[in-house]
Amino acid sequence: MKILVTDDSKIARKLVIRTLKQLLPEEDQIIEASNGLEAVENYEKENPDLVFLDLTMPIMDGFEALEKIININNKAKVIVISADIQKGSMEKVSSLGALGFIKKPVNPESMKEVLKRFNNEL
């Protein structure tokens, strides 16, 4: 499986990646992006199976990146990871096509639950 992790905070990206590595097989490939524009470019180039996407980022925010990724592939599997847990934000990402939402900081239990749901979507 190929996974794209997008967050403007290098520390947040590393935390997500470390959590994923604890839960996934070693052969899974993880790609990184530091903003929404990079996420869209990497999505087009790498065609990952799963995308983790922060909302608040420079250059292009997660809402716009999510919309562009879904326009590229309306079956894209995108999980939003954000500290912004306002109901409006959660509803918006859901309406844009996100598969799920994880509240920051990421913990292994919430990640395990999302990965289990993702595997059921395949």
In a 3-state reduction of DSSP, which class is residue 3? Answer: strand
pLDDT: is 119 or 20 the higher one? 20
Q: Where are the alpha helices (DSSP H) in the chain?
A: 10-23, 36-46, 62-72, 87-96, 108-121
Report which of 23, 18, 21 is spatially closest to residue 109, judged by C-alpha positions.
23
Buried-exposed string 56-65: b where 16+ CB fall within 10 A, e elsewhere: ebeebbbbbb
- Per-residue pLDDT of 2-19, as tens digits, reads 999 999 999 999 999 999
Q: At 43, list the tokens.
A: 């999505």
Q: What is the domain-level CATH number for residue 54? A: 3.40.50.2300
Output the CA torsion 30→60→79→103 (10° steps): 110
Q: Which helix (H) or strand (E) holds 100?
A: strand 100-103
- Per-residue pLDDT of 103-120, as tens digits, reads 888 888 888 888 887 776
pTM for the structure as a whole: 0.90
Count of domains forming the chain: 1
106 secondary structure, DSSP code: P
Domain that holds residue 26: 2-121
Q: At 11, list the tokens.
A: 């520390």
Residue type, 19: T
